[in-house]
Homo-oligomer: A and B are copies of this chain.
Amino acid sequence: MSERTEVGSLGEFGLIEHLTKNIEFHNASTLQGVGDDAAVIDHFGKQTVLSTDLLLEGVHFDLSYTPLQHLGYKTVAVNVSDIYAMNATPTQILLSIGFSNRFSVEALDEFYEGVYAACARYGVDLVGGDTTSSQKGFVISCTAIGEVAPDQYVKRTGAQKGDLLCVSGDLGAAYLGLLLLEREKRIWMENPQIQPDLEGEKYIVGRLLKPEARKDIIEFFAGAGIRPTSMIDISDGLSSELLHLCKGSGVGAMLYEEKLPIHDDTRAAAFKFNSEATACALSGGEDYELLFTIRQDDFEKLGNVNDITVIGYITDAEAGVQLYSKGGNKYPVTAQGWNHMGNA
């Protein structure tokens, strides 16, 4: 950012034109995008799926170590993740931002560069939004729209006793990435001469700053003919999401500690932070992996996909939600997910 253009020099409508002039549409259903009172979307016998997120500076992200481009990418990824978690395909997004006068046009361009990169990655069209000044800080609101064949969406309420409990990818890395960046920030604030030590931590930092939504898993389901009986995305931590899923479905679950997928770099980072890798996998937030259940009959359809792990099975509600530890003991699973309200 060698130049700095004041947002006021463009005006609100000039700014919107500037930020949206390179929009490309990926969906035939997008009839009308930015530039009128509302966007218009056509449907071809599909059902519409909608999700929205509100992200506030200082609560959900820290711009002192979050590049704006990554923040833009993550905003979209996190939102479409909710659409995938319904077994649906995201098609459009609406994006609103509020920002103080400390943001230049160049800074907003960086943010939108990430937004557009994610739109291209996930095949969604940016069709509307709102821009406004804020008194302080950066405010982001993103709404994702998706489509699904009638009644093919997957809720978090359909898990049945005997179903296999599965998770995509690996868990706990984003939380350790956050611990690392918070530590480096504290060190840097105390002593600005010391450069951040991120050597060998690329994986966990990347998982926090640039998560990917699991488009590939939904596509795999479609190809393999699998329809999960229930599904939820992991934003607040495995424990918290599993409890939601079990409560919603009126079931219990048995989770195996030794089955939890944890990346080697996550284990190494947990060790450095004197944390238990298992605890990070259970309670760390922002992994954006998919937690889902399938009928036992569908097990063979999983085939050799090594990015899906069976981590347990569904039980009666009376059995509760339990963790079977490596040591052979059973512990009740409790919600320790990131609870933004807790910071209120």
Chain A interfacial positions (CB closer than 8 Å to B): 7-8, 11-13, 15, 31-32, 35-43, 45-56, 58-60, 82-83, 85-86, 88, 92, 94, 96-101, 127-137, 139, 141, 143-146, 148, 150, 153, 155-157, 231-233, 244, 248, 339-344
Contact B56 A98 (CB under 8 A): yes
CA distance A52 to B128 in the complex (A): 7
Q: Are A86 and B130 in contact (CB under 8 A)?
A: no
CB-contact partner of A31 in B47, B92, B136, under 8 A? B47
Q: B50 and A148: CB pair below 8 A?
A: no
Chain B CB within 10 A, most for which of A37, A143, A244: A37
State the CA gap A279–B194 with chains docked (Å). 59
- 22 inter-chain pairs at a CB distance below 8 angstroms, sorted by A residue, are A8-B344, A12-B339, A36-B155, A36-B232, A37-B51, A38-B82, A38-B88, A40-B50, A40-B148, A43-B45, A52-B129, A52-B141, A53-B130, A54-B96, A54-B98, A54-B139, A56-B134, A101-B344, A131-B341, A133-B341, A133-B343, A135-B137
Q: State the Cβ distance, A255 to closest chain B Cβ, in Å.
A: 20
Q: In whole angstroms, what is the CA distance A37 to B214 when docked?
A: 14
What 9 A-B pairs have minimum CB-CB distances, sorted nearest first?
A141-B141, A133-B344, A12-B341, A38-B51, A54-B96, A37-B85, A37-B82, A41-B48, A43-B43
- Which B residues touch A36, using CB under 8 A? 86, 155-157, 232, 248
Closest Cβ of chain B to A42, distance in Å, is 5
A248 to chain B: which residues have CB within 8 Å? 35-36
Counting chain B CB atoms within 10 Å of each CB, the highest count among A50, A94, A342 belongs to A50
B46 to A40, Cβ gap below 8 A?
Answer: no
User: In the complex, what residue of chain B is closest to A136 when comparing beta carbons?
Assistant: B136
A137 to B108, CA, bound (A): 23
Q: Quick check: B32 and A43 within 8 Å, CB to CB?
A: no
Q: Contact between B86 and A37 (Cβ–Cβ < 8 Å)? A: yes
A85–B39 alpha-carbon span in the complex (Å) = 11
Please give the distance in Å from A222's CB to the nearest CB on chain B: 18
Tell me how far the C-beta of A210 lies from the nearest C-beta in chain B, rounded to whole angstroms.
21
The CA-CA distance from A292 to B328 in the complex, in Å, is 72
**Docked-complex contact A141 and B96, CB < 8 angstroms:** yes
In the complex, how many angstroms separate the beta carbon of A283 from the nearest chain B beta carbon?
15
Residues of B within 8 A of A52 (CB): 94, 96, 128-130, 141, 143
Nearest-neighbor residue (CB-CB) of A88 within chain B: B38
Quick one: which of B42, B50, B83 contacts A94, CB cutoff 8 A? B50
Distance in Å from the Cβ of A137 to the closest Cβ of chain B? 7
